[in-house]
Structure 1
């Protein structure tokens, strides 16, 4: 089981460093709807993360039962996912000049106006972005070769979800514990993310993509 945890942790940390959900929750925490919408967003984000990795783990379970065939099929899937992340990283880097470095997209700025139900649905929707899908696929598919029991699988999926959601959960919990005291820190974080989001995302996706490709190649 601990080997499986080791397999998914790099992917989980990559998910935790995803700038879009972090920026979205910061905007909600700085908005007039800060009392309820951030919590609804966090719940939607956690449920979406758990649902995506569970879906890919279930998909991996239908890979041919022959050990050799399973390893080859899983290796091919992981290589495809890793290459997909590398492609997304390259595309993100090439498009970096199409928008101002310190400006976030208009659709993201509108997050601050969301009410709880909308924030919940938006968080679920963020889990079907290309990067999020590829990360969930890498984590879920990697569990196929670890011979986990149902309880162990639930623990590993829970670990992935907790780590991936930690960057969204931390500011929400901090604001609940000390309401109003975190505004300055949140605003500084928002400015920093807006200025550095591209390079951080590209580096993380490249690194994780290479790791996943390497993991896939070892299964042939």
Structure 2
């Protein structure tokens, strides 16, 4: 199981280091429905990661290794394709960065966060973690790497749980600040939001570049 943990760890950190979802929950925690919408968003995020990860593990339940014990060709090709996709996302994020002195543009749906219900918050969390192209690619890569190790189903489930936990740490952090920091929570969260908004493009570009290059390099070494 150690190999599986090591293989999925970079992908889990890639999911965790996503500025936009963190900004979203920070905005939710500044609304009148903070105490219901914040936890709902977090549960949705966890559900999205878990559902997609479990589905991928079920679909990749077949042989991920060849008869000689080598990594199956389809796993290598898939890793290569995911790596290329992440590089394309990195280039897109870098091109979309704000010019010097300009504020980063936030998605339009963020302006309506103060009107979200707990159900809508849950759905948004699930969409951002499960359907967002970057997270979907990282989840697919992580689960494929886990399946490739050939560990039993129970150990796969444990590894999936660790993946979800690591991928949720940055969502849980603002929630913890909100409940534990008292009157100073909004100031801390506001500062964090401003920093993330200003550096979103740079963080995502570097992150996706590193993860994409790693997947491509690992895949090439298997050919």
TM-score bin, normalised by smaller chain:
over 0.9
Q: State the Cα distance separating 1:86 from its structure 2 match.
A: 0.4
Corresponding residue to 1:158 among 153, 161, 166: 161
CA contact (8 A) 2:83 2:214 kept: yes
Whole-angstrom CA distance in 2 between matches of 1:67 and 1:142 = 18
Matched position secondary structure for 1:169: helix
1:204 aligns with 2:207: yes
The residue number in structure 2 matching 1:120 is: 122
1:38 aligns with 2:38: yes
1:16-63: CA deviations, max 9, x gaps? 011121111100111111111000000000011111122222222245
CA contact (8 A) 2:103 2:198 kept: yes
The residue number in structure 2 matching 1:72 is: 73
The residue number in structure 2 matching 1:140 is: 143
Matched position secondary structure for 1:204: helix
Residue range with higher mean Cα deviation, 16-25 or 57-66: 57-66
Structure 1's 67 and 167: CA in aligned 2 closer, same or farther, altered over 3 A?
A: farther
CA contact (8 A) 2:65 2:148 kept: no
Count of residue correspondences: 220
Q: State the Cα distance separating 1:95 from its structure 2 match.
A: 2.5
Q: State the Cα distance separating 1:93 from its structure 2 match.
A: 1.5
Structure 2's unaligned 5+ residue stretches are none
Whole-angstrom CA distance in 2 between matches of 1:7 and 1:89 = 21
Whole-angstrom CA distance in 2 between matches of 1:187 and 1:113 = 19
Whole-angstrom CA distance in 2 between matches of 1:157 and 1:32 = 34
Q: State the Cα distance separating 1:215 from its structure 2 match.
A: 2.0
1:107 aligns with 2:112: no
Whole-angstrom CA distance in 2 between matches of 1:25 and 1:97 = 22
Whole-angstrom CA distance in 2 between matches of 1:217 and 1:144 = 19
Structure 1's unaligned 5+ residue stretches are none
Whole-angstrom CA distance in 2 between matches of 1:70 and 1:197 = 35
TM-score (norm 2): 0.91
RMSD: 2.0
Residue range with higher mean Cα deviation, 77-86 or 206-215: 206-215
Q: State the Cα distance separating 1:97 from its structure 2 match.
A: 4.5
Whole-angstrom CA distance in 2 between matches of 1:155 and 1:4 = 10
Moved beyond 4 Å, runs of 4+: none
